[in-house]
Structure 1
Amino acid sequence: MNNYISKVHRIDYGACTKTVSGYTWDGFTEIDEHTHVVAAVYEKVLTKLSKYSDSRISLISIISSGFCYQSGSNIELELQFPNGLVMEVDCGLILLEKDGIPTNDIFEVGSDIDFLLEECEYRDINQIANQFSAMRLQINKEFAKWSLDNDAHVDLIDFKMKLTSEWQEHFTPAVEMIVNCLDEALIPSKRVIEADNPEDALKEVMALHKEIKTRTKLKVKFGLEGADGTIDLITLRSLLNSDGSPMPVEGYLNSIKDPSRNTNLESHRGHLYLVRSFHDSVHIFFNYNYIRISDQSFPSIVCSNASGKPITDYITHRFLTSEVIIKTMTSVTEYGRQYIEIFVEQPKFYYCRGTGRFWATE
């Protein structure tokens, strides 16, 4: 008899949570009678695991994603080991009838669980879990050292083993970590790190250190100026005059508080820049210090003489002013279409997320 598989008990309170992608049972709620797939999988897994009497591994969640009555639903299980480590198992697609009632594929999940338990016994899954647990401890120690050195702060939120849908052929758990650290906008946010094995996970963590250290230094530098980052002139004008009319602070404040909400903004080490196309009288594309104009061309002599001159000597757009200076300008032809490609220099400004204020960096 296996000595590490637990009997799983249903907890009869709460409700099943509906998510954007499907339904999730979190191990602490009652199965909703309308979530047929999750309920059927739960009963099948419960039956399989209840054969084993020793309480060592528990089922903590069932995730049904891509829920669709016409095609099916992908099922993922999460099992927890005694050391607190979680293993996520991809059981693949469950096909459905038209009315949403699971077909016989549910029984395949039961067979998968049987096979999984056999593999756990054969490969001594507790030993594998302990290896992952040791790696988790090492990573947490590394994060603690960075914090003590005051050069980077990273919190480990989640650390789990993952078996992909091909685990029956390749029983090699991968690693998924969720950490909280400064993102490109220098805002603390969650980040997913994946690796094929614990050793590679540690390498990913060490590679992360250099970038987070750089971002931390920049955040301190900007903070000394009372700022949260920088923004260039073109991007600033796009926020203040997005649709051709003046924009009040309330209109753009959310974009600088959380740039990820604005699909036209990108961030790099605290600098906000515009990535956007316009289809007005001409097709013009902005990407930080790069501008491309489609279906237009200048003679080569005009392009070679443009360096150092204001871009407004050649192009008119509400985001451009004479302070935007041309570094290089070339006319190119690609796939039969003509383009003008321009690299520019432009002023930068500090910005404050709390107030929406901007001021010159020099």
Structure 2
Amino acid sequence: MRTEHDWITTPLTLELLRGALDLERTEHGLLPHRLPARARAQNTDAQLAMAEAQPSGVRLAFRTAATAVELDTLRTKRDYIGAPPRPDGLYDLLVDGRPAGQAATTGGNVLTIDMATWNAELTPGPVGTVRFTGLPEGDKDVEIWLPHNETTELVALRTDAPVEPLRDRGRRVWLHHGSSISQGSDAASPTAIWPAIAASLGGVELINLGMGGSMMLDPFTARTMRDTPADLISVKIGINIVNGDVMRLRAFGPAVHGFLDTIREGHPDTPLLVVSSVHCPIHEDTPGPSAPDLGEIGKGRLRFAAMGDPAEKAAGKLTLGVIREELSRIVRLRAADDPNLHYLDGLDLYGASDAAELPLPDNLHPDAATHRRIGERFGTLAFGPGGPFTEQG
């Protein structure tokens, strides 16, 4: 029987994490961030602050002979008033790159959100523990992927054998930025979000800057991407611009150019893929904003509705159809002088026929099966033969 004296506690550092760009020391431990402090200081939006602190794509990665691992964390789980309860965030265990376990924690904070007013109240809770036992004997690569949809403070890491940071496996680094779909909203688990599926198929290391409600072409995010080492870069643009109703066509084109210009300052020749939105029926031809359908919430269901008027397109309001046309035009224009810039139509990842077969349950976000489909298709179109991310040589 193992006692507390058999455990080795290893200090948690950025060297043991992949997919995080910063660590903040908190009252309880360390909070991984997907935006650095300088970018966070320029942000005033609570939605982005919450999303970037949810560790989508972030994983503990180490080499060890341990057969048992314990991780103390403090989660912050969201609870939307009137909507069905959200499932617990999951931790996925990989051993030598293969799935080897899955677990959830207990306790933690609860952030209760009223979607009618967007007021939020935080109820504190205790630290919980995730345990994985029965790992294979001998040295091995261990990864623990943190929940993609819960803020997760790391408190302590215990093992029954020493650990060391996972050595560089010589894989290319893929830096991706997108919306809540890229963050993994409604995916089954952290390794089942579509970017993680695509990264596995492509044999690359993922840095996921998919952030719910927050792909707004923010300059501080562009500067973060400029300054982050990467071998491959993609930006998935569209749905948040529309459902946030944050700009018109006049501002959108220059904003895209500026975002790409900033990335190119740090990555002048890196393969850069611009991806438009997947099919979303409520916003294909109807501008934003979108908002929770309060009638559906009253029935215990969460669904979103488009609040704009299709006639407003004439005044420059944006729809997904308009954005796809503009992104295609911008990439064609720039590609004349930038042969490493590419465009992928999001409808090739999930189009109208897919929506008929696998509709978006809340009218905005894909379910687990659709995440897999999108990830597999991205893997083929981007990493497969002839794709912009195909490994040369």
TM-score bucket (shorter structure): under 0.3
State the structure with bigger RCO (CA 8 A, min sep 6), 1 or 2.
2
Structure-2-length-normalised TM-score: 0.25
Q: TM-score, normalised by structure 1?
A: 0.26
Larger Rg: 1
